[in-house]
Structure 1
């Protein structure tokens, strides 16, 4: 832990406390230690913040601290049910209304990144949106032999990589400090969580990877309805420049404009939530930065338009099954299933009682059933979750951090569109369809195909193992008169034939089991 990163950490804490960042957290719902920490931090608030409760300067403070802090503020802005309506409104400017960088730098950035092809981008506008990592301009793409197209040109902020690395150094310092000073925090694995977020944001700093993410998601959703994404213009893509088709839409937070366009906000909220769940559960690949600045409504179709694919989440088959079972368990009020899945993936240690944990889950789930979003206090729910995680010594799964953060974002945006949102009713068609498919003949066939593929891979290694065994045997025979090498050669033979036997046994077991 370097002195510089520790200093940046304490400086960030000082700035956040002065500007009222801790005043927006639901202190009353948090554990006593966290509540005490927030109370101490609030002693440092500026008098104006303490007197009025206004945090209008917090946006600027977060921007100065760095992109990682802005991301945190963006998440809070989607949860007026937790931080309050005024605080969420004050923080919403972090989503796409940050100060842009000097427009005089744009031509040079494009020329350096794209070379001669930069000249094909004409009529470049002033920044349409500016966020913590990049800003977006509208332009006209005039490629030779093609009809001119309206496009969106995204450019990374100059020097953003250095700011990001400084951020993550201080976050690592904070995580290690927490683990040192608070042994109880170690079960939350703060360093591993920071490492996961660090990796996702490193990917965000290469727009070629974002272009690839758009391409992959386009293939996944090609037969879907209700969710639309832009197309990539690959000739105008570089590490710090991304060019896509221009998407005409109404910002999803502009409820008045959405209503004026005759778009059903309840249907829009359902499309947003169901699309996210479909991407996560069916594809295992989802947009992990779905704050309102990245979401629009198509005025013609009422579909959801998503942009900015810099942060993507990916989960495996086991994690997808875990998510589906958890949601289905809450939908059907099967709390034993919910509890068992938490044990299966390692969230809860085996030393705990499944039945007791199911009872704790029931205490959260039952009050939520039959209630609309407007009737649910997420601050109280979070407080109860904190208590339960401590009571059952729950462990953090770092690979699920992006999924959990994204669900908070999406559910927050959906409930602002539809205050009467019933998440269980909306989620059931997607979750139920996937589980029925997985348990049905098609799911079984796909599982069998996966087994056969692994068998093929294993069988493909058998000839090489046999060749190695024959070679070892030949060497053994040639050296049979060298007693000192005999033991080693015999050992090699045993290991090789044992490996071959294991592979053949595995193939037989899978064939019999299928």
Structure 2
């Protein structure tokens, strides 16, 4: 029955797009094949609301399809360089300008979550100042005079997300079965990643913890900051934080503030994201304009930590080396890292893949960002990844999605933003620290210590578990070899 319900909702979603002429919009007729154009003309007979631009019609459709669809619209709205400024602006109201739910419902939720009357916590609590797909924010005050923002989940949002997730999972299964060219995008695993991330957003206690963790991370570089969490005002469906400085980037007035340095602001955004991901392995994974506040000259404040991305040491190293290779136009190294990481199957040629990367990278270098058609670059990259059988990596979905979003937002701040120049200081610092001779010695020493610990465990008596006689000897040789290699490397460095 659950699958039948999901199928019904999926058909309903398609019908909503058809009725708004948002499925195969008429403005794109020139790009369709004859067969697709015929299908589009047929479906258009059932369109009852054809008014508005393509972005307006799509936004209207997505708004009625639930929180998961709205999040897709939020992502599209950040890429004016791909879809056009007008389209992005039409989709922009999906970020934080959705219809709010009544204040009385918010007050009831707050009282229930915190176990006290609202007046005992907040002397004042106003109407919603921003409303998004999962929650809305209210301006309030504390008894000590601090101005705060109180985030409250929408009533019944858990059921709606569960229903939307079932539809997304079904759509992914259908894509994987009936659309072979799309299988390398791993639609089922991708959907599972998105669903899991959305489910975690429904517990605001986790968001409070993520905000607190990232506040510590951000303070180490200063590229970005976040308001403090007010822990007495935190519950599963309620989150209280100090009021963010500046103006929300989703408002046009934000970029018109006197004394604002747009270039520095865009650089700070790119560097903040990369520093979080590379240096600390944890990053804000929902950096659209509705979640960013700006103040002169180049201060950047992030809110809404419902989606947190994490990278392990191996992924951080691969990311840094790929970025470093592109910065130095070392396509051979970039290609080799892709093979080492397993992103490209070993049956392909490293040299041929490097050649393909050069075809993408060289036309971009030396040109201002506003002169680069990102839609063409992405199309070329997609074609190359298909040619080399590269599959989507679900563990990197949040990273890739956030990188695309950050670049889009940075270009809106500064149309001439050079993401490579902005990234260089952070990547260079990581390379110098993590790939230096001293770092390599430490890594070898750590490997040796781990091997010795494993040896110690293996040589201890293990009741009821048979141990192969040769294994301790193998581990010992591995440990001694690692120690010898580390010592030789260190000696070589000291003798230079």
TM-score (norm 1): 0.87
Q: How does 1:104-123 map to 2 (within 5 A)?
A: 104-116=104-116, 118=118, 119-123=120-124
C-alpha displacement at 1:457, in angstroms? 4.9
Paired residues of 1:29 and 1:384 also in contact (CA < 8 A): no
Choose which of 461, 469, 480 in structure 2 pairs with 1:508: 480
Paired residues of 2:228 and 2:242 also in contact (CA < 8 A): yes
SS where residue 125 of structure 1 aligns? Answer: strand
C-alpha displacement at 1:126, in angstroms? 0.7
SS where residue 44 of structure 1 aligns? Answer: helix
Residue in 1 that maps onto 2:460? 466
CA RMSD after TM alignment: 2.7
2:268 & 2:209 partners in 1: Cα distance? Answer: 24
2:323 & 2:37 partners in 1: Cα distance? Answer: 32
Choose which of 213, 217, 221 in structure 2 pairs with 1:224: 221
Residue in 2 that maps onto 1:428? 424
For the pair 1:200 / 2:197, whether they are aligned, the reply is yes
Q: How does 1:176-195 map to 2 (within 5 A)?
A: 176-195=173-192
Specify every segment of 5 or more residues in structure 1 that has no aligned partner in the other structure, as ranges: 473-491
Paired residues of 2:78 and 2:408 also in contact (CA < 8 A): yes
C-alpha displacement at 1:427, in angstroms? 1.2
C-alpha displacement at 1:57, in angstroms? 4.2
Q: How does 1:365-514 map to 2 (within 5 A)?
A: 365-444=361-440, 446-448=442-444, 450-451=446-447, 454-455=450-451, 457-458=453-454, 461-462=457-458, 466-468=460-462, 471=463, 492-493=465-466, 495=467, 497=469, 500-514=472-486
C-alpha displacement at 1:114, in angstroms? 0.5
2:109 & 2:317 partners in 1: Cα distance? Answer: 44
2:274 & 2:240 partners in 1: Cα distance? Answer: 28
Residue in 1 that maps onto 2:493? none
C-alpha displacement at 1:509, in angstroms? 3.8
Q: How does 1:120-131 map to 2 (within 5 A)?
A: 120-131=121-132
Number of matched pairs: 483
TM-score (norm 2): 0.90
Choose which of 279, 284, 289 in structure 2 pairs with 1:287: 284
Summarize deviations over 1:137-194 as a string: whole Å, max 9, x none.
111122xxxx332111111111111111111111111111111112332222110111
C-alpha displacement at 1:107, in angstroms? 1.8
1:39 & 1:159 partners in 2: Cα distance? Answer: 41
1:361 & 1:325 partners in 2: Cα distance? Answer: 15
Residue in 2 that maps onto 1:134? 135
> Please, which moves more after superposition, 288-297 or 115-124?
115-124
Paired residues of 1:22 and 1:42 also in contact (CA < 8 A): no
Summarize deviations over 1:369-403 as a string: whole Å, max 9, x none.
11122111111112112211221111111101111
Paired residues of 1:25 and 1:83 also in contact (CA < 8 A): no
> Please, which moves more after superposition, 42-51 or 12-21?
42-51
C-alpha displacement at 1:243, in angstroms? 0.8
C-alpha displacement at 1:453, in angstroms? 5.8
C-alpha displacement at 1:221, in angstroms? 2.4
2:40 & 2:483 partners in 1: Cα distance? Answer: 62
Residue in 2 that maps onto 1:349? 345
Q: How does 1:263-278 map to 2 (within 5 A)?
A: 263-278=260-275
Summarize deviations over 1:260-281 as a string: whole Å, max 9, x none.
3211111100110111111111
Residue in 1 that maps onto 2:356? 360
The alpha-carbon distance between structure 1 residues 212 and 372, as it changes in their structure 2 partners (threshold 3 A), is same
> Please, which moves more after superposition, 316-325 or 127-136?
316-325
Paired residues of 1:179 and 1:186 also in contact (CA < 8 A): yes
C-alpha displacement at 1:323, in angstroms? 1.4
> Please, which moves more after superposition, 4-13 or 154-163?
4-13
Residue in 2 that maps onto 1:79? 79
The alpha-carbon distance between structure 1 residues 42 and 396, as it changes in their structure 2 partners (threshold 3 A), is farther
Choose which of 297, 304, 312 in structure 1 pairs with 2:308: 312
Paired residues of 2:20 and 2:48 also in contact (CA < 8 A): no
Paired residues of 1:251 and 1:293 also in contact (CA < 8 A): yes
For the pair 1:334 / 2:347, whether they are aligned, the reply is no
2:343 & 2:79 partners in 1: Cα distance? Answer: 25
Specify every segment of 5 or more residues in structure 2 that has no aligned partner in the other structure, as ranges: 487-496
Residue in 2 that maps onto 1:4? 5
Residue in 1 that maps onto 2:19? 18
